[in-house]
Structure 1
Amino acid sequence: MITETSAVRFRQNLGDMLNQVQYRHDSIIINKDGKPVAALVDAKLFARIQRMQARFDALCERIEKGFAVLPEEEGMAEIDEAVKQVRQATQQET
């Protein structure tokens, strides 16, 4: 479950919220002036997010290397075409 709270309430209830995350595996979005500024997630989820970020970064590097020999305009046109095709296929499924 994801809970939202203000920064003030978070400070006042830190112990309870840590327990909520640790034992119930909930996540807490912390708002400041009504805007989300941070999230408290359990350590296992955070580790998974880090692994996914590392895989995403590695994929981005591979894509950059693969398109390095193409002029930027051609690469962007190819990406735009791929996005267009996926969106069309998605629309046809619905």
Structure 2
Amino acid sequence: MITEVSAVNFRQNLGEMLNQVQYRNDSIVISKDGKAVAALVDAELFARIRRMRERFDALSERIADGYAGVPADEGLAEIDALVADVRQGR
């Protein structure tokens, strides 16, 4: 479950919220002035997110290297066309 709380509420109930995350695998979104500014997630999920981000960054770098000599608008148009083809099952 994902719970959204204000920063003030989070500070006042930190121990309880840590328990929610640790024992119930909940996630907590912390907002300030009505805008989400942070999230509290269990350590295992955070580790998975970091691994996924590292893989995404490596893939992005490979794509950037592959399109190094191509003008940005042409490269983006080609990528958009390929994504559309994949989504349509071609």
TM-score by length of 1: 0.86
**Residue equivalent to 1:70:** 70
**Residue equivalent to 2:82:** 82
Give the deviation of 1:69 after TM superposition: 2.4
SS of aligned partner of 1:31: strand
Give the deviation of 1:83 after TM superposition: 3.4
Give the deviation of 1:58 after TM superposition: 0.2
Rounded Cα–Cα distance in structure 1 between residues aligned with 2:21 and 2:73: 46
**Residue equivalent to 2:53:** 53
**Residue equivalent to 1:33:** 33
Rounded Cα–Cα distance in structure 1 between residues aligned with 2:84 and 2:24: 41
SS of aligned partner of 2:36: strand
**What fraction of aligned residue pairs are identical, expressed as a percent?**
71
For residues 21-59 of structure 1, the C-alpha deviation after alignment (integer angstroms, 9 at most, x for no partner) is 011110000011111110000000000000000000000
Rounded Cα–Cα distance in structure 1 between residues aligned with 2:26 and 2:84: 37
SS of aligned partner of 1:52: helix
Unaligned 5+ runs, structure 2: none
Provide runs of 4+ in structure 1 moved above 4 Å.
none
**Residue equivalent to 1:19:** 19
Higher relative helix content? 1
Unaligned 5+ runs, structure 1: none
* Letter of the 1:22 counterpart: Q
Rounded Cα–Cα distance in structure 2 between residues aligned with 1:25 and 1:84: 36
